[in-house]
Amino acid sequence: MIKFFRTIRKELLTKNKIGKYLLYALGEIILVIVGILIALNLNQRSEQKKAEAKIDAIFEDVLKDLETDISRSTAYIDIYQRKDSLLSLVLNTDLTYKDYAKEDSDPIWRAALTMGFYTPSDNAHKVLMSNIDAIPEKYSQSVSFLNELHGTRRQSVERFNKRLNDHVIESNDILAEKPWYTEPDHKKSTEAIMYRLNDYRYKNRVKKYHGIVIRNHRRTILFYRAHAVRCYEEIASVLNKMTDSLDFITDEEVLNRYVGSYVRSTNHESKAEITINNDGFLIVNREHPLQEDGLIHVSSESKFSSANPIGGVFIFNKSNLGDYITMTIHEGHIPVTYTKLNP
């Protein structure tokens, strides 16, 4: 090819066709420039594809972190629900001397002395932020959701991590001042049991612990989890990943199966109405007590947790035909069941 162009140039110069030679030379220069531009464009596209593949891989890692967060937060929510029942027993003075003296009474003794330090996973998010300039526009909504998750949502969780742990340390310090604290098995000490049964200061600390754990720490973890699910759905849609097999995602078609009127099994005058709001949350309105709860999907298709600070866990039960016919609300240690009208 080079020999061919050289022959043309030589022929034009030999015949003294300077004008045509200059035009030819200009054309050859343009041809070379076009070739260079094409090569650069192809190289740029190749590099862009590599960069996008790298970002896609990072977002895949983000999804793995989110799955871990959702799983761990679900475990915390379940633990706190059981703890709520124990704390209610203590606060409602439903426990007796025999309850504390039992061999398997450790959960009761430790009910208000357990730390909880929920730390969300953010390794992949940090890697993502270090490549922020290379993130394609299609991920803009995903990045916005993730920034909120690892910003205000995470900060709320960490704030109550600290409050909870500070409170537990302080409670243990108070117990350490009791004369029976150093006994090998102070759980068998009459003084220790009577302290928990009758001392108002102990009950006050349990009540404060309940407020920190159930009304605040649990709630911030619950909202963190809900937002993590939202992030997962958004990123998965960009990556064209299927989410049908994930038990923490419930679509609107499934949610509609819960909608309807429910009546309390032990008091038919007490009713509850379930609807879906614009944000895709189930809303429960109860007449007795007058209360509105936004329900956040938790670990299984039929399990939801209240977004209300004093709310509990709502579990729906199916009939043999697969229709939801009852709703059991776990608030404190006494579950309340509602039956669906015209399921």
Nearest to 229 by CA among 294, 278, 296, 140: 296
| Shared-domain flag, residues 140 and 170 | yes
The verdict on 135 and 207 lying in the same domain is yes
Which residues form the domain of 303? 252-340
Residues 107 and 156 in one domain: yes
Same domain assignment for residues 82 and 28 = no
What total number of domains does the chain contain?
Answer: 3
CATH code of the domain containing 288: 2.40.128.20
* 67-79 tens-digit pLDDT: 999 999 988 888 8
Give the confidence band of 278 by pLDDT, cuts at 50, 70, 90.
Answer: confident
Final residue before a domain boundary, out of 49, 64, 87: 49
% of the chain at pLDDT higher than 90 = 32
Do 33 and 123 lie in a common domain? no
Q: Are residues 40 and 83 in the same domain?
A: no
Tens digits of residue pLDDT in 166-179: 999 999 999 999 98
C-alpha 331/C-alpha 21 separation (Å) is 93
Q: Model pTM?
A: 0.78
Residue 334: Cβ within 10 Å count? 11
Question: Is residue 43 situated within a structural domain?
Answer: yes
**62 within a domain of the structure (yes/no):** no
Is residue 190 located within the same domain as residue 309? Answer: no
| Residue 215 within any structural domain of the chain | yes
Residue 298, in any domain of the structure: yes
121 class by beta-carbon count within 10 Å (0-12 exposed, 13-18 middle, 19+ buried): middle
The rounded distance, in Å, linking the Cα atoms of 270 and 285 is: 11
What confidence tens digit (pLDDT) does each residue in 215-273 have? 889 889 988 998 999 899 999 999 999 887 787 877 777 888 888 899 988 777 788 88
Token readout for 280 is 């895709």
